[in-house]
Structure 1
Amino acid sequence: MATRKRPEECPKPPAWLTSFGDLMSLLLTFFILLYSMSIISLEKFYQVLKGLVEAFGGRQVVFAEGGALKASRIPVQFENMHYRVKKFAELKKEITQIKKELMGMGIEADYLVTGTCMKLRVNTSKLFPLGSEEPYPQAKELFLNMCTRLKPFSLPITFEGYTDSMPVSNPRFPSNWELSAMRAVSVLKLFASCGYPQEILSAVGRGEYHPIAPNDTPENREKNRRIEFCIKLNP
């Protein structure tokens, strides 16, 4: 005797509805994941920020708005602010004034910021006799005055000497390497004599290999004879 099939209480859903439900579940999970990733943990953000600042020479995390999140456990000490944030404007103002005074004396000068170094570029044509590392007496006074004005910042300085491409006609210097290096050392010694901390001073000779103008005319060669003060912005 055949069994009688019981009628279904609810009709079966269409086959496509199962796939559609799975798709909606996956989309919901995906958007929940995106939302969770978009919420920034301030604590972790400050930790990353602190690591980056310290990696680039900073000592403490400084917040431009003048404070830190109360829930943050990262100490913020405003008395030890990163130097570039706290003193950069003052140094730039002093360098700008020095440049203006040098230009007023007829000495070509300029400044630029490269990475963590503020460079003061000074033409040496009126500061050193041609082929000599000994500055003129008035040039010595000028360098000593610059030392007095930069000494309060107590920042490391590298003196970089440059020459033109003309060969040195002086038995004291076999090449422009030696001449450029000795001019840089002469300025370094003047800074040391005025009380600038000697342990943060250095000198290098670049010779003729980093010109700022083509060495094709007397005027351009004069531009290439220079001393550059590389003042490190990170103490």
Structure 2
Amino acid sequence: MAKKHKHEEHVNHEAWAIPYGDLVTLLLAFFVVMYSISSVNEGKYRVLSASMTAAFHGKPKSMTPIQVGAQPVSGSAMSLIDSIRPAAPASDLIPRSAAPGIPQTARSGMNPERVSSDDREARGRAMRELRALASAIEKAMAPLIDEKLIMVRRNEQWLEVEIRTDILFPSGVASITPSALAVLDELAAIFARFSNSIRVEGYTDDRPINTVVFPSNWELSAARAASVVRRFAEHGVAPDRLGIIGWGEQRPAASNDSAEGRNQNRRVLIVVLGSDRQERAISDPESGISNRLGSSSDDDVAMAIADAEAANAGVIENRTDAATATTEESAQAADNLQDDQHVVQQESGA
């Protein structure tokens, strides 16, 4: 019997390609998933989160926009005077909350001649409160003021208390030193007796900082201002009166080229506003708003208010004159048109 010949099997030298291809495919899928996770669209995520919250916890929040400013007036056509009257500036359309003790006067659409004497008295009272507040601070902080560690400045609209950070914070941190706590507590006791709004602004020099807590001077200045505000709130000052701003190395009070200049730039500025109408401009050390505790009488304020009312009254009178002139021109044009029509009729009859 003949022996069956066996078929010779060849060795497959490319068998490794199949598992290798599977491995590469899995790695590709893995990196695609990782990339998609790292680039999440925040807007879509918020929409998805809101829809899931509405589905599981109740009705969604209202997305209706809030109308800011005066609502549009419906009705008949506006008069000629209203048509030539310019639109109110944007600042007049934004309502502002009235400060305690200061009556709120409508800033748009109100005749300045109707400003009551009570409103003038309230403004004068606000000025007197700022003057009394400044006097109390200067009396309590007299030793530090003499050492140039605290400076007090005031005008008719706001009060500034500038404190060098040398007595408040160690270098590069926002924790108040134990020796400065008594100073802030004494200031808080004075502020608690009044109702003015308070804004604390933090400043640094231009030396960069890059730590885990403070990546830049922005965070450091804001944290220092927040530390002062928190101390005030803990010692009797209403939190709704307080606010903070961190300027970092921006708006220096002196040159950063010298050590003394950098020392002046490291400061905390406490701004006490006179009323809701007195919006303090952004602090500019070179503007020189006033000397320390510069005085101004209530008569000066009354004269300034009277001048403003007279100017506004002149504007209204000019607008009325312009409207009258426009009306007269329209009447004259109508008369001329009637004369022309009469002439045409006579010529047609002829």
Mapping 1:92-107, distance limit 5 Å: 92-104=134-146, 106=147
The residue aligned with 2:175 is: 134
Q: Deviations over 1:149-190 (max 9, x none)?
A: 121012110000000000115331110000000000000000
State the superposition RMSD in angstroms: 3.0
TM-score, normalised via structure 2 length = 0.44
CA distance in 1: counterparts of 2:172 and 2:244, whole angstroms: 18
SS at match of 1:220: helix
CA distance in 1: counterparts of 2:104 and 2:216, whole angstroms: 46
CA distance in 2: counterparts of 1:229 and 1:125, whole angstroms: 16
CA distance in 1: counterparts of 2:226 and 2:129, whole angstroms: 27
Query: What amino acid is aligned across from residue 225 of structure 1 in structure 2?
Result: R
CA distance in 2: counterparts of 1:210 and 1:135, whole angstroms: 23
* The one of 188, 198, 201 aligned to 1:157: 198
CA contact (8 A) 2:137 2:190 kept: no
Aligned pair count reads 170
| Cα 1:142/1:92, change in 2 over 3 Å | closer
CA distance in 1: counterparts of 2:268 and 2:176, whole angstroms: 12
SS at match of 2:275: coil
Higher helix share: 2
| Cα 1:128/1:75, change in 2 over 3 Å | closer
In the TM superposition, residue 196 of structure 1 has moved relative to its aligned partner by: 0.6
* The one of 231, 241, 256 aligned to 1:215: 256
TM-score, normalised via structure 1 length = 0.64
Query: What amino acid is aligned across from residue 225 of structure 2 in structure 1?
Result: A
Task: List runs of 5+ in structure 1 lacking aligned partners.
Answer: 1-54, 62-71
CA distance in 2: counterparts of 1:198 and 1:164, whole angstroms: 29
CA distance in 2: counterparts of 1:147 and 1:78, whole angstroms: 29
| Cα 1:111/1:211, change in 2 over 3 Å | same
Q: Deviations over 1:27-82 (max 9, x none)?
A: xxxxxxxxxxxxxxxxxxxxxxxxxxxx9986399xxxxxxxxxx99864499632
| Cα 1:73/1:227, change in 2 over 3 Å | closer
Query: What amino acid is aligned across from residue 102 of structure 1 in structure 2?
Result: L
Query: What amino acid is aligned across from residue 184 of structure 2 in structure 1?
Result: F
CA distance in 2: counterparts of 1:114 and 1:177, whole angstroms: 28
CA contact (8 A) 1:131 1:170 kept: no
Mapping 1:183-222, distance limit 5 Å: 183-222=224-263
Task: List runs of 5+ in structure 2 lacking aligned partners.
Answer: 1-95, 106-112, 277-350
The residue aligned with 1:147 is: 188
Q: Deviations over 1:192-229 (max 9, x none)?
A: 00121101100110100111100001111011000000
Q: Deviations over 1:90-126 (max 9, x none)?
A: 122123224423235x461212236622111111112
CA distance in 2: counterparts of 1:91 and 1:100, whole angstroms: 14
CA distance in 2: counterparts of 1:112 and 1:73, whole angstroms: 33
Query: Does 1:91 find its partner at 2:133?
Result: yes
CA distance in 1: counterparts of 2:270 and 2:195, whole angstroms: 14
Q: Which moved further from structure 2: 168-177 or 208-217? A: 168-177
Query: What amino acid is aligned across from residue 235 of structure 2 in structure 1?
Result: C
